[in-house]
Amino acid sequence: MTDLVNSVGLRHDPRFRPDWSPEMLLSSNYIGRSFAMRVRTLRAIAPLRSDRGDAVWWDLLLRAGLTSKLSSGFPRVLTHLTRRPAPTPDAGVRAVQDSIERQGQHAP
């Protein structure tokens, strides 16, 4: 879970994450940018695609190929953000299309 903190330090807009779902991740980056990943996983999918803007985190999660066995959640606030990632529609579509094509499927 993450929440936002405003300029005077008040927390608001908590976002609770559901269980891991690769299918849901194709529709939106419900994880955001607050997550931990094993170094060996990160090295296997490096480098970060910084040209994706705020979609860089979504792209990273999609490329990691995580399954429910390889992921776990924490039932508490892990971080306080001043803003949430807001990828442009084009960057988000590109990240999802790349992911679908890596799986050998056609992305319209």
pTM, two decimals, is 0.68
Q: Give 92's DSSP letter.
A: H
The tokens 């695609």 sit on which residue?
Answer: 49
CA distances to 34, 68, 79, 87, 95 from 83, in Å: 12, 27, 11, 12, 21
Confidence (pLDDT) at 49: 87
Stretch 35-50: mean pLDDT, rounded? 86
Indicate if the pLDDT at residue 75 is higher than 80.
Answer: no
Phi, psi for residue 79 in degrees, rounded to 5: -155, 160
Domain boundaries, the chain: 2-102
Give tens-digit pLDDT for 14-42: 877 777 888 888 888 888 877 788 899 88
Residue 16 contacts residue 3 (beta carbons within 8 Å)? no
Task: Report which residue type is found at 74.
Answer: F
Confidence (pLDDT) at 47: 86
